[in-house]
């Protein structure tokens, strides 16, 4: 490269060397920016400064000097662009390394909710009874004493009202003693409601929550679930009741399970029975869960009392029926070997997690 004078040539060459030497030392983007301002900055950059000093040259020297500065500027700019790509690339590589996601790591577990064991068994019972021709319906938990007691052949002052004492929450109508509002003590009121609503044939099950004035212990809660069953038609007999409950029990606990019916009293059935199944834990040999008897009580049942049929407008000379009421938690306890009903509503996640992934 030649210019009009040796001083100017030396100046340009020295500046180019300084610029390229310094550029080679640069390791980060901030230093690169400072370097750019110092050498290539449009206002204060050293290369532009050479052009500004051109006024001191003779008119003949100026064009060659300008061309030499501009050629130097082009080379230095090219060197800058190349360096910028390396420095920027290094920064990008560093950033990517810091933000790296290891896609081979196992995912974080997402906590999943699970169905409560009472819901699981209710659904299972509903599926079993559907195969036997029963429809699943629901009814009110806040109930009139007319349905909870009177229509079920339990008049005011009947001692059975003591056994099924509950929370009285108000009254309806003018005579409080005749029709009060209670939290239902069993699902049996839905027998009367269903029969009032439709003509026979009737085949329903009614799962739902019940409430009782109850001292809680390992097998009693003040709030628990029952499953009511009702079948009414012409010529329904006790054999139908026994066959239905035997089939249900075998579906639930296995085909070798035996069922036992013993006389019992409920004002709304005649005859009445309690029914039990061979203990699912010991197979009937006797253990802690069945208190050594080999049997576990599942609920009450019987043939619908003629008074109940009459109360809802059915003619007991034409129609007959059977009904039953099961404690759902008791069935869950038998099925899964749970020895204290108070676990169900203690809100202890460890208990509920035992049922995670259980499917019916």
* Residues recognised as catalytic: 164, 186, 212, 226, 269, 323
Token pair 């009202």 is found at 161
Q: Are 15 and 72 in contact (CB under 8 A)?
A: yes
Which part of the chain contacts ligand YSA (CB under 6 A), choosing from 3-11, 136-144, 299-307, 312-320?
Answer: 299-307
Q: Which two tokens stand for residue 84?
A: 């910028």
Is 8 a binding residue for ligand YSA by CB under 6 A? The answer is no
Q: Are 322 and 302 in contact (CB under 8 A)?
A: yes
What is the Cα 208 distance to its own chain's centre? 21
Nearer to ligand YSA, 172 or 342 (CB): 342
- Is residue 60 a known part of a binding site? no
- DSSP character string of 133-151: TPEE----SEEEHHHHTGG
Identified binder of ligand YSA from the candidate list 117, 139, 189, 325, rule CB under 6 A = 325
- Nearest approach in angstroms of CB 128 to ligand YSA is 17
CA atoms within 13 A on the CB side of 36: 14
Identified binder of ligand YSA from the candidate list 50, 121, 153, 186, rule CB under 6 A = 186
Nearer to ligand YSA, 69 or 252 (CB): 252
Question: Strand locations in the chain, DSSP E?
Answer: 135-136, 142-144, 168-171, 180-183, 202-211, 223-233, 259-264, 269-278, 295-304, 320-327
Euclidean distance between CA atoms 171 and 178, whole angstroms: 9
3-state secondary structure of 272: strand
**How many residues are present in the chain?**
360
Nearer to ligand YSA, 128 or 303 (CB): 303
Identified binder of ligand YSA from the candidate list 35, 36, 324, 344, rule CB under 6 A = 324
DSSP 8-state class, residue 201: P
Identified binder of ligand YSA from the candidate list 226, 249, 276, 343, rule CB under 6 A = 226
- Nearest approach in angstroms of CB 179 to ligand YSA is 20
Question: By CB under 6 A, what part of segment 14-53 binds ligand YSA?
Answer: none
Which part of the chain contacts ligand YSA (CB under 6 A), choosing from 60-68, 115-123, 172-180, 265-273?
Answer: 265-273
Q: How many residues bind ligand YSA (CB under 6 A)?
A: 23
The neighbour count for residue 15, using CB atoms within 10 Å, is 19
The neighbour count for residue 310, using CB atoms within 10 Å, is 13
Identified binder of ligand YSA from the candidate list 249, 327, 334, 343, rule CB under 6 A = 327
Identified binder of ligand YSA from the candidate list 80, 221, 231, 284, rule CB under 6 A = 221
> Which residue ranges make up the site for ligand YSA (CB under 6 A)?
186, 188, 212, 214, 220-221, 224, 226, 266, 268-269, 297, 299-302, 323-325, 327, 329-330, 341
């Amino acid at each position: 490269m030649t210019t009009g004078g040796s001083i100017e040539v030396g100046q340009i060459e020295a500046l180019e060397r300084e610029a390229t030497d310094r550029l080679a030392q640069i390791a980060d983007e901030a230093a690169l920016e400072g370097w750019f301002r110092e050498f290539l900055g449009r206002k204060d950059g050293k290369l532009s400064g050479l052009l500004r000093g051109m006024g001191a040259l003779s008119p003949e020297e100026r064009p060659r000097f300008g061309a030499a500065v501009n050629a130097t500027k082009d080379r230095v700019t090219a060197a800058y662009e190349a360096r910028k790509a390396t420095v920027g690339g290094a920064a990008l590589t560093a950033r990517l390394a810091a933000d790296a996601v290891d896609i081979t790591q196992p995912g974080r577990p997402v906590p999943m909710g699970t169905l409560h064991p009472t819901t699981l068994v209710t659904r299972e019972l509903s599926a079993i009874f559907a195969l036997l021709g029963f429809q699943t319906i629901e009814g009110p938990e806040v109930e009139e004493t007319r349905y909870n007691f009177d229509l079920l052949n339990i008049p005011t002052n009947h001692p059975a009202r003591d056994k099924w004492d509950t929370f009285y929450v108000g009254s309806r109508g003018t005579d409080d003693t005749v029709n009060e509002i209670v939290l239902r003590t069993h699902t049996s009121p839905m027998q009367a409601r269903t029969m009032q609503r439709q003509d026979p044939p009737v085949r329903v099950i009614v799962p739902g929550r019940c409430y009782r004035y109850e001292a809680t212990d390992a097998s009693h809660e003040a709030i628990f679930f029952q499953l009511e069953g009702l079948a009414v038609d012409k010529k329904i007999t006790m054999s139908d009741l026994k066959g239905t409950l035997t089939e249900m029990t075998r579906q639930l606990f296995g085909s070798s399970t035996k069922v036992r019916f013993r006389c019992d009293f409920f004002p709304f059935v005649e005859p009445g029975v309690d029914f039990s199944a061979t203990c699912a834990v010991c197979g009937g040999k006797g253990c802690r869960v069945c208190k050594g008897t080999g049997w576990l009580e599942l609920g009450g049942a019987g043939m619908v009392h003629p008074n109940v049929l009459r109360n809802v407008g059915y003619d007991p000379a034409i129609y007959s029926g059977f009904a039953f009421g099961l404690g759902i938690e008791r069935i869950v306890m038998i099925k899964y070997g749970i020895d204290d009903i108070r676990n169900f509503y203690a809100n202890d996640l460890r208990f509920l997690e035992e049922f995670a992934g259980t499917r019916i």
